[in-house]
Structure 1
Amino acid sequence: MKPLTSPEMGNPGAPVVAAQDSTYQTQQPDASHQLRVEFTGSGSEYFRIWIVNLLLLIVTLGIYYPWAKVRRLRYFYGNTVVDGEPLGFHANPVKLLKGYFLVGVLFSLYSAAGKFSATAGFLAFLIIAALWPALLKSSMQFRMANTSWRGLRFGFKGSLGGAYRAVLPLFVPGMVILAALTQVADPERPPSWYLKTLGVVFLAAFAVLPWLVWNLKQYQHNHYALASLQTTFKATLGSFYKLFFKIVGLALLPLLVSGGAVGAIIYAAKTGGMQGRPSIGLIMIASLAPLVVMMVLLVMIKPYATARLQDLVWTRTGNTSLRFLSRLHFRSLLWLTVKNWLLVVLTLGLYWPFASVALARMRLEAVTVKTRVSPDTLLSHSGAVEGDAAGEAGGDLFGLDIGF
């Protein structure tokens, strides 16, 4: 199964798979095993890796990135201990470099086509967009095939067709954009039409976001494998929309409260004999209030979404033979986030490795695994297909966290 890691790794996950093979259930029907997840890394150890990677990236103008990534992942994986055994990461940096080169060529061709003509650039973009699901599948295969536990390599069983179905929600705002482009050439269109079209595209993308995330999680968590075992994913689309609305509500509440407070202050000033002219102090309060609200949102929303999403995804991954339990508390994660950001700012970024390690430890150790399948039983089952390193590169360049 996919290892839980920090955002620094770009791949939060959990390190065991759900059994679908009924033979495991009949072999030990009454056995019960709890696989404890620990993270043994330290900020001081990772700081040395991080600073060396940073310096070599600068000296080599970024060429060292595949080696830096492998060193980083090997450290985090090697310090992720499941049932007393660490994970391993075995990717070859040279293969990653070839994958990044291939993806770089694709984007160079896209850039060149855009300079040639707008139509050519748009067609090149469509080609790259069409390749993205294949890169997603390949990236998952590559990452899992190069991850091991107790000498066994993990695998990813997702199909290419499943990858395209997973990104299907992206076509909804895409169709709106294509429909709008057919009308752009009309010179009689008023400027307000373009604003309305942009608003429709934004709303369409906003509305399908939970659907897209659910599709991606379902595609990933239904196909993680170890030996002959494979995960299942039981979270519903409705549960993702429910979480989405909670996050939106949490984001809107401070805006409504601050807007009401500012309005009340201005109203009180007007009715208090200021003859409709608020003081400079009130103007400053009214101006700073949105900034304060945005800071609160940045601090609160991500920890809340991260904690609730991790709990939802991993608690709903499993079957009758195995169950994941994730209890990542929002308050603890919020406090850690505030602490990390303050120390990163005060140290001018030098605390970043320590923050990454602290976050990885909290997220990993919030997960426990209960299974009726003995870990020793898995040792007789092995085999995984290594994916294409270009997929791993593509996942990074598209900026999508495909591992959680």
Structure 2
Amino acid sequence: MDVPQRIKFHASGSEYFRIWIVNLLLTIATLGIYSAWAKVRRNQYMYSCTELAGASFEYHGRPMAILKGRIIALLLIGGYNLALRVSPLAGLVMFVLLAAVMPWLVWNSLKFRLFYTSYRGIRFGFGGSTKAAYFHFLVLPLLYLVTLTLALPFVHQRIKRFQHTESRYGTQHFGFDATVGSFYKRYGILLALIAGGGVLSAVVGALLRGAGQPAPVTIVASIAVGYVWLFLLIPLFMNMIQNLIWNHTSLGVHRFSSDMKWGKVVAITLNNVLAIVVTLGLFTPFAVVRWQRYHLESIALLPGGSLDEFVSGQDDAVSATGIGATDMLDFDLSM
């Protein structure tokens, strides 16, 4: 099999709406407790609708593990807010504690999400070590702060390299060969466009002043132009980063490609935002499906040989790690 295999996404907005509305109502009725079960239902549906080379993905996450992780996360966040009310010193101590455990939380979240995902009966996995997790999720972010954000592209590249090269399908690790320079190039383009937006805002303000418009009008117009410009830059940057990352990711002899188009991303984003506002949020599940479809279907697998042979050779890849994974928690850092 050497024909590019593009990901297909079969979810529909109406189907996901039924899952979403039930999840929402039950989560509210149970004061948030059901959110762990809601996440499992959502992921099981989304994964089952994601197809690659004729087979779909599966999600095996356990609600109780997710609930435990969320309770711990809420206790940490609540403790930090409470400490701030007590005194600045207590808040600082709690902040240091959060910083100390955060790399471990991120590491466990990555392990959970990959281990409980499978494709063709084979589990994914995430390796690394506690030391590597602290280096990438604590030391590198500190470097970003110390350099006044100048090291951000370097930090971004190192973290993505760690995430991809420590991820595996069966026993086969993924590869990642995007360079630090390629990340600096994308960030440089972003900065140049941000500067261009600033110039555009200033020009609009100057033209309005020259036309005799009052100061409040020129100020509001300039700010509006700036916000619209930034709103367009966000999907552009997402587009550049996704294409960069997936065009430099491999799995053994197989490679991936991404051809996400900026104009399409902008159109989907604008339509989704407007529809969500007009429907007072009820369009949200349809927007999620639309975005997921374009995001996933922009990615393709470029086989370097027979995918069937690769899969059949990895059948027992992670059987030995199953016992050790039973106590993992999903801390769901998106909350």
TM-score (ref. length: structure 2): 0.90
Count of matched residue positions in the alignment of Structure 1 and Structure 2: 327
Residue 285 of structure 1 aligns with which residue?
A: 217
Write the deviation string for residues 155-209 of structure 1: whole angstroms up to 9, x where unpaired. 11222222122132321366x6xxxxxxxxxxxxxxxxxxxxxxxxxxx443233
Q: Answer whether contact 2:194 2:230 (CA < 8 A) is retained.
A: no
Q: Answer whether contact 1:96 1:389 (CA < 8 A) is retained.
A: no
In structure 1, how many angstroms separate the alpha carbons of the residues matched to 2:180 and 2:244? 11
Greater displacement, 51-60 / 144-153: 51-60
Alignment counterpart, residue 333 of structure 2, candidates 395, 398, 403? 395
Establish whether residue 138 from structure 1 lines up as the match of residue 108 from structure 2. yes
In structure 2, how many angstroms separate the alpha carbons of the residues matched to 1:365 and 1:98? 33
In structure 2, how many angstroms separate the alpha carbons of the residues matched to 1:123 and 1:290? 42
Q: Answer whether contact 1:141 1:387 (CA < 8 A) is retained.
A: no
Write the deviation string for residues 296-352 of structure 1: whole angstroms up to 9, x where unpaired. 134311210111110000101127711111000101111111111111112111111
In structure 1, how many angstroms separate the alpha carbons of the residues matched to 2:181 and 2:144? 21
Greater displacement, 204-213 / 235-244: 204-213
Write the deviation string for residues 111-134 of structure 1: whole angstroms up to 9, x where unpaired. 444444432321221122111111
Alignment counterpart, residue 53 of structure 2, candidates 83, 87, 96? 83
Write the deviation string for residues 14-35 of structure 1: whole angstroms up to 9, x where unpaired. xxxxxxxxxxxxxxxxx63533
- CA separation of 1:260/1:229 partners in 2, compared to 1, >3 Å: closer, same or farther? same
Residue 102 of structure 1 aligns with which residue?
A: 72
Gaps of 5+ in 1: 1-30, 177-203, 270-277, 398-404
User: In structure 2, the residue corresponding to 1:86 is in which secondary structure?
Assistant: strand
Q: Answer whether contact 1:37 1:80 (CA < 8 A) is retained.
A: yes
- Equivalent position amino acid for 2:312 in 1: L
- CA separation of 1:336/1:113 partners in 2, compared to 1, >3 Å: closer, same or farther? closer
Residue 190 of structure 2 aligns with which residue?
A: 247
Gaps of 5+ in 2: none
Superposition deviation, residue 286 in structure 1: 0.3
Alignment counterpart, residue 243 of structure 2, candidates 307, 311, 332? 311
Greater displacement, 94-103 / 289-298: 289-298
Alignment counterpart, residue 348 of structure 1, candidates 261, 280, 301? 280
- CA separation of 1:367/1:394 partners in 2, compared to 1, >3 Å: closer, same or farther? closer
Alignment counterpart, residue 219 of structure 1, candidates 143, 162, 166? 162
1:12-51 alignment runs, 5 A limit? 32-51=2-21
**Which structure has the larger Rg over C-alpha atoms?**
1
Residue 358 of structure 1 aligns with which residue?
A: 290
TM-score (ref. length: structure 1): 0.75
User: In structure 2, the residue corresponding to 1:396 is in which secondary structure?
Assistant: coil
In structure 2, how many angstroms separate the alpha carbons of the residues matched to 1:164 and 1:314? 25
Residue 123 of structure 1 aligns with which residue?
A: 93
User: In structure 2, the residue corresponding to 1:170 is in which secondary structure?
Assistant: helix
Residue 228 of structure 1 aligns with which residue?
A: 171
- CA separation of 1:373/1:126 partners in 2, compared to 1, >3 Å: closer, same or farther? farther
Superposition deviation, residue 241 in structure 1: 1.4
User: In structure 1, the residue corresponding to 2:124 is in which secondary structure?
Assistant: strand
In structure 1, how many angstroms separate the alpha carbons of the residues matched to 2:177 and 2:19? 38
